Amino acid sequence: MRGLQTLLLRKIYITCLFWCLPLLVFPRSWFVALGMPAPEPLVFVRLLGAAYLALLVGYYLGMRGLETGESPAPVIDMGITSNGLAGLLLLYFGATGAWSAWGGAAQVFMWVSMLGALAITWRLLGFRRRWISQSTSRENDLNLN
């Protein structure tokens, strides 16, 4: 599943650069400079950054597992859950105007993040369907022998 490894690697880099690191280390003033409100209290922003880092570790371990022939199902399911829920939440909050008073660049960032999360979810659903069909085929082969 080379395509899955590529998707996970891209997910790791993009999430680390645009979500994890900013949430872990940006001072309040940088969020404001980017057109977002200053996060209050900052501890929740840092905790969210830590949670994203934990997800990145899961994606990395899933990539390593693919190299050794482990089932990709757990990392695929984690990605579907994480990206799917994030995409739906971003869609809901965007559609209800939650960031309509933010700066233009911040609004674009949020909408692009929503589209990216839903696109990743769609790709992961495809990998999940493919893996299930391959697993079923292997089980049928074993039962015939």
What pTM does this model have? 0.88
Would you state the pLDDT for residue 142?
57
Would you state the pLDDT for residue 76?
97
Taking all residues of the chain, what is their mean pLDDT, rounded to a whole number? 93
Tell me the pLDDT tens digit for each residue of 21-55. Answer: 999 999 999 999 999 999 999 999 999 999 999 99
Would you state the pLDDT for residue 101?
97
| Domain residue limits at 71 | 2-144
Would you state the pLDDT for residue 144?
61
Give the residue ranges of the chain where pLDDT is below 70: 1, 137-145
Report the domain count for the chain. 1
Q: At what angle do helices 73-95 and 42-67 cross, to 10 degrees?
A: 150
- Please, what's the largest Cα pairwise distance for the chain? 65
Would you state the pLDDT for residue 133?
84
Residue whose C-alpha is closest to residue 76's, from 11, 133, 4: 4
